[in-house]
Amino acid sequence: MIKLMRVDHRLLHGQVAFSWTSAIGSDCILIANDGIFKDDIRMAGIKLAKPHGVKLVIKNIEDSIKALQSGVTDKYNLFIVVETIKDAYRMAKEVDAIKSINLGGTKSRENTKQISKAIFINEEEENMLKELHQAGIQIEIRQVPDDSKVFIQNALK
C-alpha cells in the first residue's frame, strides 16, 4: 500500500527518513530516481539515512513503475521518494494507486517561480501539477508532517 509519494530534490535525508516514515507508519522506502546509480557518494548518503528497521529499495523510474504495477510492493506500507515533479508526474500517470503527492522541496532554477518556502516550479511543472490535480490526485505542500497542509490549488492562485 502506498502511504505517501514525496517530491524532494534531496531524496532521502534525516528529516524525510525519520519524521515522515514514523508519521505515516512506513516499513519500506522506495527511492525512484534515474540518476542515483551514477553517483556513488549520493547513494552512500541515502543508505546511511535509512531508518533502522525500514527496508530501503532504490530503483530507476521505469523499474519502480513496473514494481508498483506488478503488486510486488503491496505487502509494504510504502513511502515513495522522487527527486522532481516530472518524476512524480510520470509515476502518477502510470500507477493508479498513487492518489496523493507531497511536495517537500524543489530547487530554485532559471525560469522558476516560488510557490512556497521550499517549492520552486517552472511553467511545465505547473501544468503537470494542474493536470494531476484535475485527474483527482491530491497534491499538498509540507516539508514536515507537523506543518499545515497547503493544497496545490491554493498555492497556485
Q: CA geometry: angle at 106 spanning 67 and 147, to 5°?
A: 90
Catalytic choice (9, 13, 52, 133) = 13
For 18, phi and psi rounded to 5 degrees? -95, -50
Whether 13 is a known active-site residue: answer yes
Could you give the residue numbers annotated as active site? Answer: 13
